Structure 1
Amino acid sequence: LIFFISSSLISKNKYQEGVVSEHSFRRDGSQVWANGFWLSLWLLVWFLSDMDVFLLAGIASIAASASDTWATEIGGNRLKSKTRLLTTWKVVPPGSDGGISLPGTLASLAGSTLIAMTYLVLSTDSSFGVVAVIALAGFSGSFIDSYLGARFQHKEVSNFVSLAGRRFQINNNFVNWFSTGAASFISMILTLIISL
Protein backbone atom coordinates (compact mmCIF):
# COMPACT_ATOMS: atom_id res chain seq x y z
CA LEU A 1 0.00 0.00 0.00
CA ILE A 2 2.86 2.38 0.86
CA PHE A 3 4.44 1.62 -2.54
CA PHE A 4 1.28 2.41 -4.49
CA ILE A 5 0.44 5.57 -2.53
CA SER A 6 3.94 7.06 -2.59
CA SER A 7 4.59 6.13 -6.21
CA SER A 8 1.21 7.42 -7.35
CA LEU A 9 1.75 10.74 -5.59
CA ILE A 10 5.19 11.15 -7.14
CA SER A 11 3.93 10.16 -10.60
CA LYS A 12 0.83 12.33 -10.44
CA ASN A 13 2.84 15.36 -9.34
CA LYS A 14 5.30 14.83 -12.20
CA TYR A 15 2.44 14.45 -14.69
CA GLN A 16 0.86 17.70 -13.49
CA GLU A 17 4.20 19.49 -13.92
CA GLY A 18 4.25 18.42 -17.58
CA VAL A 19 7.34 16.22 -17.31
CA VAL A 20 7.28 13.45 -19.90
CA SER A 21 9.09 10.12 -19.68
CA GLU A 22 9.18 7.12 -21.99
CA HIS A 23 6.43 5.37 -19.96
CA SER A 24 3.06 6.65 -18.77
CA PHE A 25 2.42 6.96 -15.04
CA ARG A 26 -0.81 4.94 -15.07
CA ARG A 27 -0.35 1.24 -14.45
CA ASP A 28 -2.19 -1.32 -16.55
CA GLY A 29 -2.82 -4.96 -15.65
CA SER A 30 0.41 -6.24 -17.17
CA GLN A 31 2.45 -3.68 -15.22
CA VAL A 32 0.72 -4.65 -11.98
CA TRP A 33 1.46 -8.31 -12.76
CA ALA A 34 5.11 -7.55 -13.59
CA ASN A 35 5.59 -5.64 -10.34
CA GLY A 36 3.40 -7.83 -8.12
CA PHE A 37 4.14 -11.36 -9.33
CA TRP A 38 7.09 -12.02 -7.01
CA LEU A 39 5.33 -10.51 -4.00
CA SER A 40 2.34 -12.79 -4.58
CA LEU A 41 4.52 -15.86 -5.11
CA TRP A 42 6.71 -15.30 -2.05
CA LEU A 43 3.74 -14.47 0.19
CA LEU A 44 2.11 -17.76 -0.83
CA VAL A 45 5.33 -19.70 -0.18
CA TRP A 46 5.75 -17.89 3.16
CA PHE A 47 2.17 -18.70 4.15
CA LEU A 48 2.69 -22.39 3.32
CA SER A 49 6.17 -22.71 4.84
CA ASP A 50 6.11 -20.11 7.66
CA MET A 51 9.73 -19.24 6.78
CA ASP A 52 10.43 -15.51 7.08
CA VAL A 53 13.06 -15.56 4.33
CA PHE A 54 10.18 -15.77 1.81
CA LEU A 55 8.29 -12.89 3.42
CA LEU A 56 11.44 -10.77 3.19
CA ALA A 57 11.85 -11.79 -0.46
CA GLY A 58 8.34 -10.54 -1.18
CA ILE A 59 8.96 -7.27 0.64
CA ALA A 60 12.27 -6.86 -1.23
CA SER A 61 10.47 -7.24 -4.56
CA ILE A 62 8.16 -4.36 -3.65
CA ALA A 63 11.17 -2.37 -2.42
CA ALA A 64 12.68 -2.84 -5.90
CA SER A 65 9.46 -1.59 -7.52
CA ALA A 66 9.40 1.46 -5.26
CA SER A 67 13.11 2.04 -5.81
CA ASP A 68 12.74 1.92 -9.59
CA THR A 69 9.60 4.06 -9.63
CA TRP A 70 11.09 6.74 -7.41
CA ALA A 71 14.30 6.77 -9.47
CA THR A 72 12.34 7.15 -12.69
CA GLU A 73 9.90 9.75 -11.44
CA ILE A 74 12.30 11.94 -9.45
CA GLY A 75 15.66 11.30 -11.08
CA GLY A 76 16.76 14.08 -13.33
CA ASN A 77 13.24 15.25 -14.11
CA ARG A 78 13.01 18.05 -11.58
CA LEU A 79 16.58 18.61 -10.51
CA LYS A 80 19.29 19.85 -12.83
CA SER A 81 21.56 16.85 -13.13
CA LYS A 82 22.98 14.91 -16.05
CA THR A 83 21.36 11.59 -16.82
CA ARG A 84 23.77 8.99 -18.18
CA LEU A 85 23.20 5.64 -19.82
CA LEU A 86 24.36 3.00 -17.35
CA THR A 87 26.17 0.85 -19.92
CA THR A 88 28.10 3.52 -21.85
CA TRP A 89 27.96 6.54 -19.53
CA LYS A 90 26.71 8.62 -22.49
CA VAL A 91 24.52 11.62 -21.58
CA VAL A 92 20.85 10.88 -22.40
CA PRO A 93 17.59 12.79 -21.86
CA PRO A 94 16.04 12.45 -18.38
CA GLY A 95 13.55 9.59 -18.22
CA SER A 96 15.42 7.49 -20.81
CA ASP A 97 15.40 3.73 -20.33
CA GLY A 98 18.66 2.73 -18.70
CA GLY A 99 19.52 6.27 -17.67
CA ILE A 100 20.77 7.06 -14.18
CA SER A 101 21.46 10.33 -12.38
CA LEU A 102 22.53 11.34 -8.91
CA PRO A 103 19.03 12.55 -7.91
CA GLY A 104 17.54 9.36 -9.36
CA THR A 105 20.02 7.17 -7.51
CA LEU A 106 19.28 8.94 -4.22
CA ALA A 107 15.54 8.67 -4.89
CA SER A 108 16.01 4.98 -5.65
CA LEU A 109 17.67 4.43 -2.29
CA ALA A 110 14.95 6.45 -0.54
CA GLY A 111 12.18 4.41 -2.20
CA SER A 112 13.61 1.06 -1.14
CA THR A 113 14.41 2.39 2.34
CA LEU A 114 10.82 3.62 2.78
CA ILE A 115 9.51 0.11 2.13
CA ALA A 116 12.13 -1.39 4.46
CA MET A 117 11.34 1.09 7.24
CA THR A 118 7.62 0.45 6.83
CA TYR A 119 8.32 -3.25 7.35
CA LEU A 120 10.36 -2.39 10.47
CA VAL A 121 7.49 -0.35 11.92
CA LEU A 122 4.79 -2.92 11.14
CA SER A 123 6.71 -6.10 12.00
CA THR A 124 6.86 -7.42 15.55
CA ASP A 125 10.18 -9.21 15.16
CA SER A 126 12.19 -7.10 12.72
CA SER A 127 15.66 -5.64 13.13
CA PHE A 128 17.82 -3.05 11.42
CA GLY A 129 19.72 -5.91 9.76
CA VAL A 130 16.49 -6.98 8.07
CA VAL A 131 15.82 -3.37 7.06
CA ALA A 132 19.29 -3.19 5.51
CA VAL A 133 18.67 -6.43 3.58
CA ILE A 134 15.36 -5.18 2.18
CA ALA A 135 16.70 -1.72 1.32
CA LEU A 136 19.87 -3.07 -0.30
CA ALA A 137 18.02 -5.75 -2.26
CA GLY A 138 15.44 -3.22 -3.50
CA PHE A 139 18.14 -0.74 -4.44
CA SER A 140 20.04 -3.50 -6.28
CA GLY A 141 16.87 -4.43 -8.14
CA SER A 142 16.56 -0.86 -9.38
CA PHE A 143 20.11 -0.95 -10.74
CA ILE A 144 19.39 -4.27 -12.45
CA ASP A 145 16.34 -2.62 -14.01
CA SER A 146 18.49 0.28 -15.22
CA TYR A 147 21.11 -2.07 -16.66
CA LEU A 148 18.50 -4.11 -18.53
CA GLY A 149 16.84 -0.89 -19.70
CA ALA A 150 20.16 0.37 -21.06
CA ARG A 151 20.97 -2.99 -22.61
CA PHE A 152 17.60 -3.87 -24.17
CA GLN A 153 15.19 -0.92 -24.06
CA HIS A 154 17.22 2.16 -24.94
CA LYS A 155 16.29 3.39 -28.41
CA GLU A 156 19.84 2.91 -29.72
CA VAL A 157 19.88 -0.85 -29.06
CA SER A 158 17.83 -3.85 -30.14
CA ASN A 159 15.34 -5.10 -27.62
CA PHE A 160 15.22 -8.60 -29.08
CA VAL A 161 17.13 -11.60 -27.78
CA SER A 162 17.47 -15.06 -29.26
CA LEU A 163 16.88 -18.07 -27.08
CA ALA A 164 16.72 -21.64 -28.36
CA GLY A 165 16.35 -20.42 -31.93
CA ARG A 166 13.46 -18.05 -31.16
CA ARG A 167 13.47 -14.26 -30.88
CA PHE A 168 11.91 -12.60 -27.85
CA GLN A 169 11.27 -8.92 -27.25
CA ILE A 170 12.48 -7.50 -23.95
CA ASN A 171 9.86 -4.92 -22.96
CA ASN A 172 9.43 -2.80 -19.84
CA ASN A 173 7.15 -5.34 -18.16
CA PHE A 174 9.72 -8.10 -18.56
CA VAL A 175 12.46 -5.83 -17.20
CA ASN A 176 10.31 -4.97 -14.17
CA TRP A 177 9.41 -8.62 -13.61
CA PHE A 178 13.03 -9.72 -13.85
CA SER A 179 14.46 -6.95 -11.66
CA THR A 180 11.89 -7.38 -8.88
CA GLY A 181 12.54 -11.12 -8.97
CA ALA A 182 16.28 -10.51 -8.82
CA ALA A 183 15.78 -8.27 -5.78
CA SER A 184 13.85 -11.02 -4.03
CA PHE A 185 16.61 -13.56 -4.69
CA ILE A 186 19.26 -11.06 -3.56
CA SER A 187 17.35 -10.62 -0.29
CA MET A 188 17.28 -14.39 0.23
CA ILE A 189 21.02 -14.65 -0.36
CA LEU A 190 21.73 -11.74 1.99
CA THR A 191 19.41 -13.21 4.63
CA LEU A 192 21.23 -16.55 4.44
CA ILE A 193 24.62 -14.82 4.69
CA ILE A 194 23.53 -12.82 7.74
CA SER A 195 22.13 -15.92 9.46
CA LEU A 196 25.38 -17.91 9.10
Structure 2
Amino acid sequence: MRAYFSIVLTALLSLASLQRRSLSKSGALAAVFIGLSTASNDNILFTVVLLAFFISSSFWTKYHAQAKARLDSTHAKASQRGWKQVMCNGCVGAVISLVYQCNFDGRRPEELSLEERKFMTLLIWGYVGFYSCCAADTWASELGTLSSNWPVLITTLKAVPPGTNGGISKLGIMSSFAGGAAIGLAADVALWMQYFGAYRSGMLPKIPYSILGSLLGMLGSLIDSMLGATVQASYVVEKRVVSDLSANELKHIKGASLVAGRDILSNNMVNVVASVTTSAIAIALQMLLF
Protein backbone atom coordinates (compact mmCIF):
# COMPACT_ATOMS: atom_id res chain seq x y z
CA MET A 1 0.00 0.00 0.00
CA ARG A 2 2.81 2.40 0.91
CA ALA A 3 4.60 1.74 -2.39
CA TYR A 4 1.36 2.38 -4.29
CA PHE A 5 0.81 5.62 -2.36
CA SER A 6 4.35 6.87 -3.04
CA ILE A 7 4.07 6.14 -6.77
CA VAL A 8 0.67 7.84 -7.12
CA LEU A 9 1.66 10.88 -5.05
CA THR A 10 4.94 11.36 -6.90
CA ALA A 11 3.31 10.96 -10.31
CA LEU A 12 0.53 13.44 -9.51
CA LEU A 13 2.92 16.08 -8.18
CA SER A 14 5.31 15.70 -11.11
CA LEU A 15 2.50 15.99 -13.66
CA ALA A 16 0.98 18.98 -11.86
CA SER A 17 4.39 20.68 -11.79
CA LEU A 18 4.81 20.13 -15.51
CA GLN A 19 1.41 21.63 -16.23
CA ARG A 20 2.11 24.66 -14.02
CA ARG A 21 5.60 24.93 -15.54
CA SER A 22 7.18 24.79 -12.11
CA LEU A 23 9.42 21.98 -13.39
CA SER A 24 10.95 21.19 -16.74
CA LYS A 25 10.77 17.63 -18.11
CA SER A 26 14.20 16.83 -16.68
CA GLY A 27 13.17 18.42 -13.39
CA ALA A 28 10.03 16.28 -13.25
CA LEU A 29 12.08 13.11 -13.79
CA ALA A 30 14.46 14.11 -11.01
CA ALA A 31 11.47 14.86 -8.79
CA VAL A 32 10.25 11.29 -9.32
CA PHE A 33 13.47 9.96 -7.77
CA ILE A 34 13.27 12.39 -4.85
CA GLY A 35 9.57 11.70 -4.34
CA LEU A 36 9.82 7.91 -4.39
CA SER A 37 12.81 7.94 -2.04
CA THR A 38 10.86 10.09 0.40
CA ALA A 39 7.20 9.07 0.15
CA SER A 40 8.11 5.39 0.63
CA ASN A 41 9.26 6.24 4.18
CA ASP A 42 6.82 5.05 6.86
CA ASN A 43 7.65 8.12 8.98
CA ILE A 44 5.29 10.70 7.47
CA LEU A 45 7.55 13.56 8.61
CA PHE A 46 9.76 13.03 5.57
CA THR A 47 6.90 13.33 3.10
CA VAL A 48 5.17 16.20 4.91
CA VAL A 49 8.37 18.26 5.10
CA LEU A 50 9.14 17.64 1.42
CA LEU A 51 5.60 18.70 0.45
CA ALA A 52 5.83 21.82 2.63
CA PHE A 53 9.06 22.81 0.90
CA PHE A 54 7.91 21.97 -2.62
CA ILE A 55 4.48 23.61 -2.45
CA SER A 56 5.63 26.78 -0.68
CA SER A 57 8.70 27.22 -2.89
CA SER A 58 6.68 26.75 -6.07
CA PHE A 59 4.14 29.31 -4.87
CA TRP A 60 6.68 31.99 -3.91
CA THR A 61 8.69 31.42 -7.10
CA LYS A 62 5.61 32.24 -9.20
CA TYR A 63 4.57 35.12 -6.93
CA HIS A 64 5.03 38.43 -8.79
CA ALA A 65 7.27 36.60 -11.28
CA GLN A 66 7.11 39.38 -13.88
CA ALA A 67 8.27 42.02 -11.41
CA LYS A 68 11.18 39.81 -10.33
CA ALA A 69 12.15 39.07 -13.95
CA ARG A 70 12.53 42.81 -14.60
CA LEU A 71 15.15 42.97 -11.85
CA ASP A 72 16.91 39.64 -12.35
CA SER A 73 17.45 38.20 -15.83
CA THR A 74 17.87 34.68 -14.42
CA HIS A 75 14.45 34.58 -12.78
CA ALA A 76 12.49 33.60 -15.89
CA LYS A 77 14.61 30.48 -16.29
CA ALA A 78 14.87 29.81 -12.56
CA SER A 79 11.09 29.81 -12.14
CA GLN A 80 11.00 26.52 -14.08
CA ARG A 81 13.34 24.22 -12.19
CA GLY A 82 15.48 21.72 -14.09
CA TRP A 83 17.01 18.48 -12.85
CA LYS A 84 20.08 20.17 -11.38
CA GLN A 85 18.00 22.45 -9.16
CA VAL A 86 15.72 19.59 -8.12
CA MET A 87 18.65 17.36 -7.19
CA CYS A 88 20.46 20.17 -5.36
CA ASN A 89 17.31 20.86 -3.34
CA GLY A 90 16.41 17.25 -2.68
CA CYS A 91 19.19 14.71 -3.18
CA VAL A 92 20.67 14.96 0.32
CA GLY A 93 17.20 14.84 1.85
CA ALA A 94 16.41 11.73 -0.20
CA VAL A 95 19.62 10.04 0.99
CA ILE A 96 18.77 10.81 4.64
CA SER A 97 15.30 9.37 4.07
CA LEU A 98 16.76 6.18 2.58
CA VAL A 99 19.21 5.80 5.50
CA TYR A 100 16.28 6.20 7.89
CA GLN A 101 14.30 3.53 6.04
CA CYS A 102 17.22 1.09 6.11
CA ASN A 103 17.43 1.40 9.90
CA PHE A 104 13.89 2.09 11.12
CA ASP A 105 11.39 1.03 8.46
CA GLY A 106 8.42 -0.66 10.12
CA ARG A 107 9.81 -0.15 13.64
CA ARG A 108 8.09 1.85 16.37
CA PRO A 109 10.02 3.98 18.90
CA GLU A 110 8.90 1.55 21.63
CA GLU A 111 10.89 -1.20 19.89
CA LEU A 112 14.13 0.78 19.73
CA SER A 113 17.01 1.01 22.17
CA LEU A 114 18.09 4.38 23.58
CA GLU A 115 21.00 4.59 21.13
CA GLU A 116 18.73 3.74 18.21
CA ARG A 117 16.26 6.45 19.23
CA LYS A 118 19.15 8.94 19.39
CA PHE A 119 20.22 7.97 15.87
CA MET A 120 16.61 8.25 14.71
CA THR A 121 16.42 11.78 16.13
CA LEU A 122 19.80 12.64 14.60
CA LEU A 123 18.56 11.77 11.11
CA ILE A 124 15.41 13.84 11.66
CA TRP A 125 17.49 16.85 12.76
CA GLY A 126 19.69 16.53 9.69
CA TYR A 127 16.64 16.28 7.44
CA VAL A 128 14.86 19.25 9.02
CA GLY A 129 18.09 21.28 8.91
CA PHE A 130 18.57 20.54 5.22
CA TYR A 131 15.07 21.53 4.13
CA SER A 132 14.93 24.49 6.53
CA CYS A 133 17.93 25.94 4.70
CA CYS A 134 16.46 25.16 1.27
CA ALA A 135 13.11 26.74 2.15
CA ALA A 136 14.64 29.73 3.91
CA ASP A 137 16.90 30.49 0.94
CA THR A 138 14.03 30.17 -1.54
CA TRP A 139 11.65 32.32 0.50
CA ALA A 140 14.33 34.97 1.11
CA SER A 141 15.35 35.05 -2.56
CA GLU A 142 11.81 35.20 -3.93
CA LEU A 143 10.39 37.69 -1.42
CA GLY A 144 13.50 39.70 -0.60
CA THR A 145 13.81 40.73 -4.25
CA LEU A 146 10.46 42.53 -3.93
CA SER A 147 11.63 44.73 -1.05
CA SER A 148 11.00 48.46 -1.57
CA ASN A 149 14.57 49.16 -0.43
CA TRP A 150 17.74 47.91 -2.08
CA PRO A 151 19.49 45.09 -0.20
CA VAL A 152 22.98 45.47 1.26
CA LEU A 153 25.86 43.11 0.54
CA ILE A 154 26.40 40.89 3.58
CA THR A 155 30.19 41.37 3.48
CA THR A 156 30.36 45.16 3.08
CA LEU A 157 26.84 46.36 4.02
CA LYS A 158 26.86 48.52 0.87
CA ALA A 159 23.65 48.82 -1.15
CA VAL A 160 23.46 46.54 -4.20
CA PRO A 161 20.78 45.99 -6.89
CA PRO A 162 17.91 43.60 -6.01
CA GLY A 163 18.75 40.04 -7.01
CA THR A 164 22.48 40.39 -6.28
CA ASN A 165 23.92 37.22 -4.76
CA GLY A 166 24.88 37.89 -1.16
CA GLY A 167 22.44 40.77 -0.80
CA ILE A 168 20.36 40.83 2.38
CA SER A 169 17.35 42.89 3.42
CA LYS A 170 14.95 43.03 6.35
CA LEU A 171 12.24 41.43 4.25
CA GLY A 172 14.63 38.71 3.09
CA ILE A 173 15.80 37.90 6.63
CA MET A 174 12.23 37.74 7.93
CA SER A 175 11.27 35.54 4.98
CA SER A 176 14.14 33.13 5.67
CA PHE A 177 13.05 32.91 9.31
CA ALA A 178 9.46 32.19 8.21
CA GLY A 179 10.56 29.62 5.62
CA GLY A 180 12.57 27.66 8.17
CA ALA A 181 9.72 27.91 10.68
CA ALA A 182 7.27 26.52 8.10
CA ILE A 183 9.47 23.44 7.63
CA GLY A 184 9.85 23.01 11.38
CA LEU A 185 6.11 23.37 11.93
CA ALA A 186 5.44 20.72 9.28
CA ALA A 187 7.84 18.40 11.12
CA ASP A 188 6.14 19.12 14.46
CA VAL A 189 2.67 18.35 13.13
CA ALA A 190 3.78 15.14 11.40
CA LEU A 191 5.70 13.75 14.38
CA TRP A 192 3.02 14.52 16.95
CA MET A 193 0.36 12.98 14.72
CA GLN A 194 2.30 9.75 14.22
CA TYR A 195 4.20 9.37 17.49
CA PHE A 196 1.98 11.16 20.02
CA GLY A 197 2.25 8.32 22.54
CA ALA A 198 6.04 8.19 22.36
CA TYR A 199 6.31 11.94 22.87
CA ARG A 200 3.77 11.99 25.69
CA SER A 201 5.63 9.22 27.54
CA GLY A 202 8.98 10.98 27.10
CA MET A 203 10.39 8.17 24.96
CA LEU A 204 11.20 10.75 22.26
CA PRO A 205 12.57 14.19 23.19
CA LYS A 206 10.01 17.00 22.98
CA ILE A 207 11.82 19.21 20.49
CA PRO A 208 10.07 22.34 19.12
CA TYR A 209 11.05 21.81 15.51
CA SER A 210 9.30 25.02 14.48
CA ILE A 211 11.84 26.99 16.55
CA LEU A 212 14.73 24.77 15.46
CA GLY A 213 13.72 25.12 11.81
CA SER A 214 13.43 28.91 11.98
CA LEU A 215 16.90 29.27 13.53
CA LEU A 216 18.54 26.77 11.18
CA GLY A 217 16.76 28.29 8.20
CA MET A 218 17.99 31.77 8.99
CA LEU A 219 21.51 30.46 9.64
CA GLY A 220 21.51 28.52 6.37
CA SER A 221 20.26 31.54 4.44
CA LEU A 222 23.06 33.68 5.90
CA ILE A 223 25.62 31.01 4.95
CA ASP A 224 24.18 31.01 1.43
CA SER A 225 24.40 34.81 1.30
CA MET A 226 28.00 34.79 2.50
CA LEU A 227 28.94 32.27 -0.20
CA GLY A 228 26.98 34.23 -2.80
CA ALA A 229 28.82 37.44 -1.93
CA THR A 230 32.28 35.86 -2.13
CA VAL A 231 32.47 32.84 -4.45
CA GLN A 232 29.55 33.50 -6.83
CA ALA A 233 29.77 36.35 -9.32
CA SER A 234 26.92 38.80 -9.88
CA TYR A 235 26.95 41.17 -12.86
CA VAL A 236 24.65 43.96 -13.97
CA VAL A 237 23.64 44.22 -17.62
CA GLU A 238 21.14 46.91 -18.65
CA LYS A 239 20.05 47.46 -15.02
CA ARG A 240 19.33 43.77 -14.48
CA VAL A 241 21.37 41.37 -12.36
CA VAL A 242 22.92 38.44 -14.25
CA SER A 243 24.37 35.52 -12.30
CA ASP A 244 24.00 32.51 -14.60
CA LEU A 245 26.77 33.37 -17.07
CA SER A 246 30.51 32.85 -16.63
CA ALA A 247 33.07 35.64 -16.74
CA ASN A 248 34.20 34.48 -20.20
CA GLU A 249 30.64 34.64 -21.55
CA LEU A 250 30.09 38.10 -20.09
CA LYS A 251 33.23 39.43 -21.79
CA HIS A 252 31.24 39.45 -25.03
CA ILE A 253 28.29 41.35 -23.53
CA LYS A 254 28.57 45.10 -23.79
CA GLY A 255 28.08 47.06 -20.58
CA ALA A 256 28.38 44.11 -18.19
CA SER A 257 29.87 45.14 -14.85
CA LEU A 258 30.77 43.04 -11.81
CA VAL A 259 28.73 43.91 -8.72
CA ALA A 260 29.97 41.33 -6.22
CA GLY A 261 31.73 38.00 -5.78
CA ARG A 262 34.07 35.88 -7.87
CA ASP A 263 33.21 33.33 -10.56
CA ILE A 264 34.05 30.19 -8.56
CA LEU A 265 30.77 28.42 -7.76
CA SER A 266 27.47 28.28 -9.62
CA ASN A 267 24.19 29.08 -7.89
CA ASN A 268 23.35 25.39 -7.63
CA MET A 269 26.68 24.60 -5.97
CA VAL A 270 26.26 27.46 -3.51
CA ASN A 271 22.84 26.07 -2.57
CA VAL A 272 24.27 22.59 -2.05
CA VAL A 273 27.16 23.78 0.12
CA ALA A 274 24.86 25.95 2.26
CA SER A 275 22.17 23.30 2.76
CA VAL A 276 24.62 20.47 3.48
CA THR A 277 26.51 22.69 5.93
CA THR A 278 23.27 23.56 7.71
CA SER A 279 22.29 19.89 7.88
CA ALA A 280 25.72 19.05 9.33
CA ILE A 281 25.36 21.82 11.93
CA ALA A 282 21.94 20.44 12.92
CA ILE A 283 23.41 16.95 13.33
CA ALA A 284 26.32 18.32 15.40
CA LEU A 285 23.89 20.20 17.66
CA GLN A 286 21.82 17.08 18.18
CA MET A 287 24.93 15.12 19.18
CA LEU A 288 25.98 17.84 21.63
CA LEU A 289 22.55 18.24 23.22
CA PHE A 290 21.48 14.60 23.36
TM-score range, shorter chain: 0.7 to 0.9
Q: Paired residue for 1:178? A: 273
Q: How far apart, in 2, do the equivalents of 1:66 and 1:107 lie?
A: 9
Q: 1:159 aligns with which of 255, 263, 283?
A: 263
- Match runs of 1:23-172 below 5 Å: 23=75, 24-50=78-104, 51-77=120-146, 79-123=147-191, 124=195, 125=199, 127-155=206-234, 156=258, 157-160=261-264, 170-172=265-267
Q: 2:68 aligns with which of 19, 37, 53?
A: 19
Structure of larger gyration radius: 2
Q: 1:82 to 1:73 in 2, by over 3 A?
A: same
Contact 1:56 1:188 in 2 (8 A): yes
Contact 1:133 1:191 in 2 (8 A): no
Q: How far apart, in 2, do the equivalents of 1:32 and 1:132 lie?
A: 26
Q: 1:53, CA displacement in angstroms?
A: 0.8
Contact 2:145 2:163 in 1 (8 A): yes
Question: Which secondary structure does the structure 1 equivalent of 2:90 belong to?
Answer: helix
Give the number of the structure with larger relative contact order, counting CA–CA contacts within 8 Å between residues 6 or more apart: 1
Q: How far apart, in 2, do the equivalents of 1:127 and 1:193 lie?
A: 16
Q: 1:56, CA displacement in angstroms?
A: 2.1
Q: 1:135, CA displacement in angstroms?
A: 2.7
Encode CA deviations 1:14-46: one digit per residue, 9 max, x unaligned: 21x422234422211000111112101211222
Q: Paired residue for 1:165? A: none
- In the superposition, the TM-score normalised over structure 1's length comes to 0.86
Contact 1:81 1:103 in 2 (8 A): no
Q: 1:128, CA displacement in angstroms?
A: 4.2
Give the number of equivalent residue pairs.
184
Q: How far apart, in 2, do the equivalents of 1:175 and 1:19 lie?
A: 21
Q: Cα RMSD (Å) of the superposition?
A: 1.7
Q: 1:130, CA displacement in angstroms?
A: 3.6
Question: What letter is aligned with 1:154?
Answer: A
Q: How far apart, in 2, do the equivalents of 1:76 and 1:159 lie?
A: 22
